[in-house]
């Protein structure tokens, strides 16, 4: 995968395949630390201790449709290449939580990628998903949730026009936030 957003889309899809009804995604970019903290939490099936350990090994998957699973091992590897880390907690029947850290001043830090495009695609492909997203850049923040959209009467995320509108909304708000980013960040 060539950027962080692609990894995140893959991990959210893992949550959905694990029967998650709700997914929370938080990006916390700290300029002083030159770090990007990513937190992903779901209420899916979760994993027992053995499955949790195996999920961090390359080529293990619980899926029967293919024999290879690289989502968690790949994000772990790419975060560690930037001198970051990836921690995962899971309880069977209670869901899974990931903490992923990238050192944004490291030349091996992946670029962020097109986060609005991936998030809008996730929502349009999974309109029933309760999804909340927050991006913090030091003291600045942007928050978005499907619950807020539904309260405003917007609940058809599956049509292409709505997907494009959500993508543009996310893009505009994130670009406003990113103007506060340090110039030496490798997140682009």
Average pLDDT over residues 18-47: 96
Find the mean pLDDT for residues 11-29: 95
**Averaged pLDDT for residues 29-42:** 96
Report pLDDT for 95: 95
Half-sphere CA count of 7, side-chain side, radius 13 A: 27
pLDDT of residue 125: 92
Smallest CA-to-CA distance from 7 within 76, 60, 95 is with 76
User: Model-level pTM?
Assistant: 0.90
Query: What per-residue confidence (pLDDT) applies to 54?
Result: 76
* Structural domains in the chain plus CATH codes: 4-178 (3.30.565.10)
In this structure, of 8-22, 62-76, 122-136, 174-188, the range with the lowest mean pLDDT score is: 62-76
* 63 pLDDT higher than 80: no
pLDDT at residue 59 greater than cutoff 90: no
Tokens for 160? Answer: 């292409």
What distances in angstroms separate CA 69 from CA 10, 65, 73, one per listed residue? 11, 11, 8
DSSP codes of every residue in 49-73: HHHHHHHTSTT----SS-S---HHH
pLDDT tens-place string over residues 111-169:
999 999 999 999 999 999 999 999 999 999 999 999 999 998 888 888 888 899 999 99
């Amino acid at each position: 995968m060539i950027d962080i957003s692609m990894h995140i889309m893959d991990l959210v899809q893992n949550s959905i395949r694990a029967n998650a009804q709700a997914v929370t995604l938080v990006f916390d970019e700290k300029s002083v630390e030159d770090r990007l903290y990513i937190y992903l939490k779901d209420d899916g099936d979760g994993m027992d201790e053995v499955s949790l350990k195996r999920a961090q090994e390359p080529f293990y998957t619980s899926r029967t449709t293919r024999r290879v699973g690289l989502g968690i091992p790949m994000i772990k590897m790419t975060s560690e290449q930037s001198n970051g880390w990836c921690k995962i907690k899971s309880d069977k029947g209670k869901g899974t939580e990931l903490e992923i850290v990238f050192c944004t001043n490291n030349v091996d830090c992946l670029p962020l990628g097109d986060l609005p495009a991936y998030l809008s695609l996730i929502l349009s492909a999974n309109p029933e998903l309760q999804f909340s997203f927050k991006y913090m850049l030091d003291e600045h923040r942007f928050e978005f949730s499907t619950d807020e959209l539904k309260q405003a009467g917007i609940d058809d995320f599956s049509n292409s026009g709505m997907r494009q509108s959500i993508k543009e909304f996310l893009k505009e708000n994130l670009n406003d936030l990113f103007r506060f980013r340090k110039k030496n960040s490798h997140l682009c």
